[in-house]
Amino acid sequence: MSEDKYTSLELSKKLADAGCKLEGGEYQYDWKTEKHYWLFDIMNDICVKYATQFFGTTLVCSGCGGTNFYSNGYCANEYCGVDGSEMTWGYHPKKILELMQQGKKQEVEDYIWENTIFNKERHV
C-alpha cells in the first residue's frame, strides 16, 4: 500500500467520526481506539467512486475554485483570470489531482476535509 495514495489514519478517523460510512480500499487498525478505519484511495475512492458523496453536486470553477456563478454561467469572481470563452467547469477532484501531482499530500488532505460535506463545521 502506497501511503501517498491513501488517506492518512488521522483524516480517516475524522471522516468516520463525522459520520462517513463509505468503504475505502484499505483499512488500518488504530491501537489507541481499538477500531479499524477505512483508508480511502484519494484518486479512485474520493475523486471518482464517491465524489458526490464527499463533495455534493455543487460545480466549482476550474479557474479559481469559486462556486458562485452568474445566470449566464460565467464565474462571479472578478479576479478569476480565466477568459470566459475558455471557461471549463469541474468538481473538487481537479484541484485534488493538481495537488497530488505536486506531491502535496498534507494540502490534499486539508483540502478534502475543508470541502467535504462530512465536515459539519463548514457545511451545515
d(CA 29, CA 92): 29
> Cα–Cα distances in Å, from 8 out to 34, 95, 102?
17, 19, 18
d(CA 12, CA 113): 10
d(CA 20, CA 3): 21
Q: Does residue 43 fall inside a structural domain? A: yes
Residue pLDDT tens, the chain, 124 long:
567 899 999 999 999 999 999 999 899 999 999 999 999 999 999 988 998 899 887 767 767 777 777 777 677 887 776 655 444 545 678 789 989 999 999 999 999 999 899 999 876 5
**Total domain count for the chain?**
1
The residue range of the domain holding 79 is 9-115
d(CA 23, CA 69): 34
Q: How far apart are the first and last CA of the chain?
A: 34
Q: Does residue 4 fall inside a structural domain? A: no
